[in-house]
C-alpha cells in the first residue's frame, strides 16, 4: 500500500501557513497544522487567526490541527518524531519589527529558538524531508537604504544599474541596523542554511518581501496592503511613517509563495536562499497603493502623514527574482498587485459579513 504523503506546517492559521495547508490538502496530502494563535497575543484581538483555523478544520480534507507552541522543545521533538512528515514548512513567527522591540525575549525565543527546535527535530526524525523556512528581507537590515535612489512623482526607485532588477541574494546581511526582529530572523536564516550545509539536509530560506493575500489578518504593525484596505473600508486614517509615502514594497500573493514551495519540494536543493517578493513588476509605493485600493472600493483613502520613519524601514525594496527563475523556470508570479488588492477588498467585505473579530468596526 502506498502511504499518503504528509506535510507539517507551522504557523498554519496565519497567512502563509493556511495557504500551504489549503494547497497540500487539495493535493490529497495529510496536513499537520501547528499554531497556538500567538498572533492574538502579539497583536491583540485584531490579530486573532482562530477564524482561519476553524475554516480549515471545516473545509480541508486531511487537515489536523496541533495546538502547540514551537518554543516548547519537547513537544516539537515529539510531534515531528510521531508524524515524520515528507516535508516541513516553517511559517510560524513573531512577524513584526516594531513589535519585537517591546518583546525581545518572546521574539527571539519564537523566531530563532523555535526554528532551531524544528530543525533539530527534523534532523532526528526525517533528515531527507525538504525543510522550507519563511525568512524575510529584513535579514539585509537597513543596508538597502544605502543604495543611490532617485525620487519620482509617486515613488522612490534605485538609481544604480546593479539593482535594476532589484536586490539579489548576495546582498550583504552584515553591519547594518536590522531591528530585533530582523536579527532574530537572521539567526534563524543562518541556522537553516547551516543545517543544510553541515548535515546535508534539503533546506531553503525564502526571504520574503511583502507577502499578502485575502487570508491576511492585517494589523497596523504587520500586513501593509491588508491593513491599508481595511482602513479604507472602515474610513480609518492610515498612518504614513516618513519617506513622503513614496516608500516602495514588492507584493506577492500567498498562492505564488506556495507554488514556489511546492516546486522546491518536488526538486529540493540544499542550503538554498531565495529572495521572494513580487519583484519590480509587482512593486508599489504607499501613495500608489492608495490609488489602487481607491479604484476598487470607490472610497478616498484617509491618511495622516508622520515625519518620522519606522526604525530601519526600507525606503525602496524589491526582490531580484532571477535566481528563483533560473532554478525553477516553470515558476512565475501569477497575481498582479491590482489582482491582489481586489481579492483583499472582497475578502474583508466577506469577513465583515460574518462578523469576524478583526473587523468588528466595519
Ligand atoms: N507577511 C509578510 O509580509 C512577510 C514578509 C516577510 C516574511 N514573512 C515571514 O513569513 C512567515 C509567515 O508570515 P505570515 O504573514 O503568514 O504571519 P502570520 O502572523 O499571519 O502567521 C504566523 C502564525 O504563526 C503563529 N505563531 C506565532 N508564534 C507561534 C508559536 N510560538 N507557536 C506556534 N505558532 C505560532 C501565529 O499565531 C500565526 O497564526 C513568518 O516567518 C514571517 O516572518 C512574512
> Which tens digit of pLDDT belongs to each residue from 130-159?
999 999 999 999 999 999 999 999 999 999
Q: Which residue has the cell 482602513?
A: 231
Q: Using CA positions, which residue lies closest to atom 42 of ligand 1?
A: 95
Sign of CA dihedral 175, 181, 185, 188: positive
Q: Using CA positions, which residue lies closest to atom 25 of ligand 1?
A: 11
Work out the average pLDDT over 72-92.
98
- At residue 360, the pLDDT reads 37
Asked whether the predicted pLDDT for residue 357 surpasses 90, the reply is no
Q: Is the CB of 112 under 6 A from ligand 1?
A: no
Angle, in degrees to the nearest 10, between helices 286-297 and 337-353: 60
In which band, very low, low, confident or very high, does the pLDDT at 352 lie, cut at 50, 70 and 90? low
User: What is the distance of C-alpha 301 from the center of its chain?
Assistant: 25
Ligand 1 nearest-atom number relative to CA 110: 31
Asked whether the predicted pLDDT for residue 354 surpasses 50, the reply is no
Q: Is the CB of 134 under 6 A from ligand 1?
A: yes
Using the mean position of ligand 1's atoms as its centre, give its distance from the Cα of residue 1 in Å: 36
User: What is the distance of C-alpha 47 from the center of its chain?
Assistant: 15
Q: Is the CB of 320 under 6 A from ligand 1?
A: no
Ligand 1 nearest-atom number relative to CA 17: 16
User: Which phi-psi region, left, alpha or beta, contains residue 50 (left: φ > 0; alpha: ψ -120 to 50)?
Assistant: alpha
C-alpha–C-alpha distance, residues 336 and 296, integer Å: 14
Using the mean position of ligand 1's atoms as its centre, give its distance from the Cα of residue 13 in Å: 9
- The DSSP string of 37-53 is -HHHHHH-GGG--HHHH
Computed over every residue of the chain, the mean pLDDT equals 94
Residues above pLDDT 90, as percent of the chain: 87
Ligand 1 nearest-atom number relative to CA 217: 20
C-alpha–C-alpha distance, residues 213 and 344, integer Å: 6
Contact by Cβ (8 Å): 181, 107 = yes
Q: Using CA positions, which residue lies closest to atom 14 of ligand 1?
A: 15
Total number of residues shown for the chain: 362
In sequence order, the 6+-apart residues with CB closer than 8 A to the CB of 250 are 166, 209, 210, 277, 278, 279, 280, 282, 283, 317, 318, 319
Ligand 1 nearest-atom number relative to CA 70: 32
Using the mean position of ligand 1's atoms as its centre, give its distance from the Cα of residue 251 in Å: 16
Q: Is the CB of 13 under 6 A from ligand 1?
A: yes
Amino acid at each position: 500500500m502506498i502511504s499518503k504523503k504528509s506535510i507539517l506546517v507551522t504557523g498554519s492559521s496565519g497567512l502563509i501557513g493556511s495557504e500551504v495547508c489549503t494547497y497540500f490538502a487539495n493535493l490529497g496530502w495529510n496536513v499537520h497544522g501547528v499554531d497556538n494563535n500567538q498572533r492574538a497575543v502579539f497583536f491583540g484581538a485584531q490579530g486573532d487567526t482562530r477564524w482561519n483555523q476553524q475554516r480549515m478544520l471545516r473545509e480541508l480534507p486531511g487537515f489536523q490541527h496541533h495546538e502547540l507552541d514551537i518554543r516548547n522543545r519537547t513537544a516539537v521533538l515529539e510531534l515531528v518524531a510521531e508524524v515524520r512528515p515528507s516535508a516541513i514548512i516553517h511559517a510560524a513567527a513573531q512577524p513584526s519589527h516594531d513589535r519585537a522591540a517591546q518583546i525581545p525575549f518572546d521574539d527571539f525565543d519564537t523566531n530563532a529558538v523555535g526554528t532551531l527546535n524544528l530543525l533539530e527535530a527534523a534532523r532526528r526524525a526525517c533528515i531527507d524531508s525538504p525543510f522550507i523556512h519563511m525568512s524575510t528581507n529584513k535579514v539585509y537590515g537597513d543596508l538597502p537604504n544605502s543604495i543611490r535612489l532617485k525620487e519620482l512623482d509617486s515613488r522612490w526607485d534605485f538609481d544604480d544599474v546593479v539593482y535594476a532588477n532589484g536586490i539579489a541574494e548576495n546582498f550583504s546581511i552584515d553591519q547594518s541596523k536590522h531591528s530585533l526582529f530582523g536579527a532574530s530572523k537572521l539567526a534563524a536564516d543562518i541556522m537553516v542554511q547551516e543545517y543544510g550545509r553541515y548535515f546535508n539536509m534539503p533546506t531553503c530560506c525564502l526571504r520574503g518581501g511583502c507577502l499578502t493575500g485575502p487570508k491576511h489578518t492585517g494589523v497596523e504593525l504587520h500586513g501593509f496592503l491588508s491593513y491599508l484596505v481595511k482602513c479604507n473600508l472602515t474610513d480609518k486614517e492610515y498612518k504614513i511613517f516618513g519617506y513622503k509615502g513614496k516608500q516602495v514594497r514588492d507584493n506577492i500573493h500567498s498562492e505564488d509563495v506556495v507554488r514556489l514551495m511546492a516546486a522546491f519540494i518536488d526538486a529540493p536543493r540544499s542550503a538554498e536562499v531565495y529572495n521572494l517578493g513580487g519583484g519590480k513588476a509587482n512593486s508599489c509605493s504607499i501613495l500608489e497603493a492608495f490609488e489602487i485600493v481607491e479604484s476598487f472600493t470607490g472610497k478616498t483613502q484617509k491618511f495622516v502623514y508622520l515625519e518620522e520613519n519606522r526604525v530601519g524601514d526600507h525606503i525602496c525594496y524589491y526582490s531580484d527574482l532571477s535566481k528563483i527563475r533560473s532554478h525553477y523556470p516553470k515558476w512565475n508570479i501569477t497575481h498582479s498587485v491590482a489582482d491582489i488588492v481586489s481579492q483583499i477588498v472582497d475578502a474583508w467585505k466577506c469577513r465583515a459579513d460574518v462578523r469576524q473579530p478583526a473587523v468588528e468596526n466595519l
